[in-house]
């Protein structure tokens, strides 16, 4: 396979009808620059036009979207986008509840989890489609501090089923 670039071919600008050398581009450089400037100065018109187009072609857009998601590029993009969304949501949750374990003070992001203070975390996760749904539910309710807190994984496993965390027992013994 050759690594040479394809030679440019002559094309006619779709806006001003001038001839220019192109690699598959439909507009010449001056017209593209003018179009970019017009769009940046008239974003409200552009948004209205896009909204009308989406309403008219909704079925076609959704069909193309579904086809694209099934491709390898669509899967990679979707996975990367979801990973970024989950990471940002978890960071927001941790920041909302103080940024550290409320029992031992652990600050390592990977160790921190959402703890249901009144219990029922398993049932809540089932109702909200997993841990991401539980975090989203907490966010929708304004991060209520009376229902949830952030604990590190060790403390969370220790207090499971109504037991007391060893950190609290240790602090009571040496007080």
Distances (CA, A) of 15 to 12, 33, 52, 168: 9, 12, 23, 73
pTM of the predicted model as reported, rounded to 2 decimal places: 0.57
Q: What is the pLDDT of residue 16?
A: 86
Q: What is the pLDDT of residue 3?
A: 55
What are the structural domain ranges in the chain? 72-173
Q: What is the pLDDT of residue 137?
A: 92
Confidence of residue 134 (pLDDT cuts 50, 70, 90): very high
With 0-12 / 13-18 / 19 or more C-beta atoms within 10 angstroms meaning exposed / middle / buried, residue 74 is middle
> DSSP string covering 10-32, please?
EEE-TTT--EEEESS-SS-HHHH
What phi, psi does 150 have (nearest 5°)?
-105, 130
Mean pLDDT computed over 88-98: 94
Tokens of 94: 């941790």
34-78 pLDDT tens trace: 989 999 999 999 999 999 999 999 999 999 988 888 888 888 888
């Amino acid at each position: 396979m050759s690594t040479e670039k394809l030679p440019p071919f002559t094309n006619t600008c779709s806006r001003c009808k001038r001839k220019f050398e192109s690699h598959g581009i439909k507009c010449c450089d001056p017209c593209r620059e003018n179009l970019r400037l017009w769009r940046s100065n008239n974003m409200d018109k552009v948004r209205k036009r896009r909204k009308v187009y989406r309403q008219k072609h909704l079925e076609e857009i959704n069909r193309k979207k579904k086809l694209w998601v099934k491709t390898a590029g669509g899967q990679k993009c979707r996975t990367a986008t979801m990973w970024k969304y989950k990471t940002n949501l978890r960071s927001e949750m941790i920041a909302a509840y103080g940024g550290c374990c409320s029992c031992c003070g652990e600050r390592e992001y990977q160790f921190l989890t959402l703890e249901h203070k009144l219990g029922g975390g398993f049932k809540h996760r089932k109702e909200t489609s997993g841990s991401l749904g539980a975090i989203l539910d907490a966010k929708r309710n304004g991060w209520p501090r009376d229902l949830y807190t952030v604990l590190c994984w060790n403390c969370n496993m220790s207090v499971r089923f109504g037991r007391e965390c060893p950190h609290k027992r240790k602090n009571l013994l040496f007080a």
